């Protein structure tokens, strides 16, 4: 398992809390994953996409595709912008182009298809989390 985050503090925190020999934490951004091509079975990217600068998000999705082995799976999750979430953060109704559009993980559906993912699905999990799953076919 490799946990990847560009924040030195996040990497240090995880290294302190998890010393399992098959777990490693690496300081790097999602748009430049320091992993070999086709080297992982599963990529999980949770509550991160909206932190990546807009201009680097397509590169991050391409990197997820590159490092997954054929037959591998992707899970991308972020807060699902329900009415309740909007209310909590001070917006009672959706507004086109507002910051909640930025966290809606469904916006990456065309990008996932265009790099080659299949079986692209969306579900809303507990705790108001939007979850996209996709498959890198053999």
Ligand X SMILES: C[S@@+](CC[C@H](N)C(=O)[O-])C[C@H]1O[C@@H](n2cnc3c(N)ncnc32)[C@H](O)[C@@H]1O
Which parts of this chain interact with ligand X (CB under 6 A)?
5-7, 10, 29-31, 46-48, 51-52
Nearer to ligand X, 28 or 38 (CB): 28
Q: Judge whether 2 and 28 are in contact, CB under 8 Å.
A: no
CB of 95 to ligand X, least distance (A): 23
Tokens of 91: 């917006």
CB of 17 to ligand X, least distance (A): 12
Q: Dump the DSSP string for 57-90.
A: HHHHHHHHHHHEEEEEEEEEEEE---HHHHHHTT
CB of 137 to ligand X, least distance (A): 25
What CA–CA distances, in Å, run from 118 to 7, 66, 90, 135? 31, 14, 36, 5
CB of 21 to ligand X, least distance (A): 22
Nearest to 97 by CA among 84, 81, 119, 78: 81
Tell me, rounded to whole angstroms, the distance of Cα 87 from its chain centroid: 24
């Amino acid at each position: 398992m490799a946990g990847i985050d560009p924040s030195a503090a996040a990497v240090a925190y995880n290294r302190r809390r998890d010393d399992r020999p098959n777990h490693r934490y690496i300081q790097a951004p999602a748009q430049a994953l320091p992993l070999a091509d086709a080297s992982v079975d599963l990529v999980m990217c949770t509550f991160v996409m909206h932190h990546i600068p807009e201009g680097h998000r397509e590169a991050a999705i391409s990197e997820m595709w590159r490092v997954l082995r054929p037959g591998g799976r992707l899970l991308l999750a972020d807060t699902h912008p329900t009415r309740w979430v909007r209310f909590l953060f001070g917006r009672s109704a959706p507004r086109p182009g507002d910051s909640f559009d930025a966290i809606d993980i469904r916006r990456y559906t065309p990008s996932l298809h265009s790099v080659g993912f299949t079986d692209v699905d969306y579900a809303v999990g507990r705790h108001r989390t939007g979850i996209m799953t996709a498959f890198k076919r053999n």
